Amino acid sequence: MAQDIEAARAYVKQWQRTGELLDQIKWEELRAMTEEDAARIFEKLSMHPRDGWIRPEREQSSGLVEQQRLFRLLRR
């Protein structure tokens, strides 16, 4: 039992250190980012659905009508 607790503590410490390293990498990558990189990422994040990040059949509907139709079928 004591070995299990120690193993769990070691596991938690390992992930804490991993998290610190990942944060460090993230900030290094952000500092190294150019204006062009930032503009390209912003453009991808701000794409409108008609620009291709949503399935074409969903452009005309949020899917709520289809969801209600399926619920109606389940009630039968």
Residue 67 lies in a domain: no
Secondary structure (3-state) at 46: coil
The pTM of this model reads 0.47
**Which is more confidently placed, 31 or 44?**
31
In the predicted model, what is the mean pLDDT of the chain? 83
What share of the chain in percent tops pLDDT 90? Answer: 45
Q: Count the domains in the chain.
A: 1
Residues 22, 24, 25: CA angle, nearest 5 degrees: 65
- Per-residue pLDDT band for 60 (boundaries 50, 70, 90) equals low
pLDDT at 59 over 70: no
Asked whether the beta carbons of 49 and 59 are under 8 A apart, the reply is: yes
Print the domain residue range for 3.
1-47
- Tell me the per-residue pLDDT of 22-42, one tens digit each, with 9 for 90 and over: 999 999 999 999 999 998 888
Percent helix, strand and coil across the chain, each to the nearest 5: 80, 0, 20
**Within a domain: 53:** no
Task: Report d(CA 30, CA 38) in Å as an integer.
Answer: 9
21 is a domain residue = yes
